[in-house]
Amino acid sequence: MLKHDPVEDTPEFRAIADELEKKILARIGPNRGMGYCHLYWSTKREILEADYGIRWRSPAIMNPRVKFD
């Protein structure tokens, strides 16, 4: 089972989840294949920090022994 950042379970995060997803996709577009998850996660981290003041750790950071493509 993969670990996720517990911040994702907070009411504050859940309240902005749909808006966040729209902002991410507006910036980077839909899935374009291999490596997309890293672009998605870095964009998510940037938006969360800049727009909401939320520090978030990606699945890659939370699961250092797992290879993501």
Q: How many domains does the chain have?
A: 1
1 lies in a domain? no
49 lies in a domain? yes
50 lies in a domain? yes
43 lies in a domain? yes
User: What does the DSSP 8-state code read for residue 66?
Assistant: S
Distances (CA, A) of 21 to 16, 17, 30, 51, 67: 9, 6, 11, 13, 23
pTM of the full structure: 0.93
Q: What is the pLDDT of residue 32?
A: 82
Q: What is the pLDDT of residue 5?
A: 98
39 lies in a domain? yes
For the chain, helix (H) and strand (E) counts, in that order, are: 3, 0
Domain extent, residue 55, equals: 6-62
Tens digits of pLDDT across the chain (69 residues): 999 999 999 999 999 999 999 999 999 998 889 999 999 999 999 999 999 999 999 999 999 999 998
